[in-house]
Amino acid sequence: MGDDIYIDNFDEILKINKPTIFGFEVEDVSNFGAIISENGKFVKIAEKELKGRGLANTGLYIMHRKFFEIFDKIPLSANGEYYLTEAPKILKDLGIEFEVRKIKYWFPVNNYQELLEAEKKLRELKLFF
Q: What is the tens place of the pLDDT at every residue in 98-119?
A: 999 999 989 888 889 988 988 8
Q: Does residue 111 lie in a domain region? A: yes
Q: Does residue 129 lie in a domain region? A: no
- Cα–Cα distance, 28 to 94 (Å, whole number): 31
CATH number of the domain that 72 lies in?
A: 3.90.550.10
The whole domain housing 89 covers 5-124
Q: Does residue 19 lie in a domain region? A: yes
Q: What total of structural domains would you count in the chain? A: 1
* H or E element that contains 34: strand 33-38
Q: What is the tens place of the pLDDT at every residue in 44-95?
A: 999 888 889 999 999 999 999 999 999 899 989 888 888 888 999 999 999 9
- DSSP codes joined into one string, 108-119: ---SHHHHHHHH
pTM of the predicted structure, to 2 decimals: 0.84
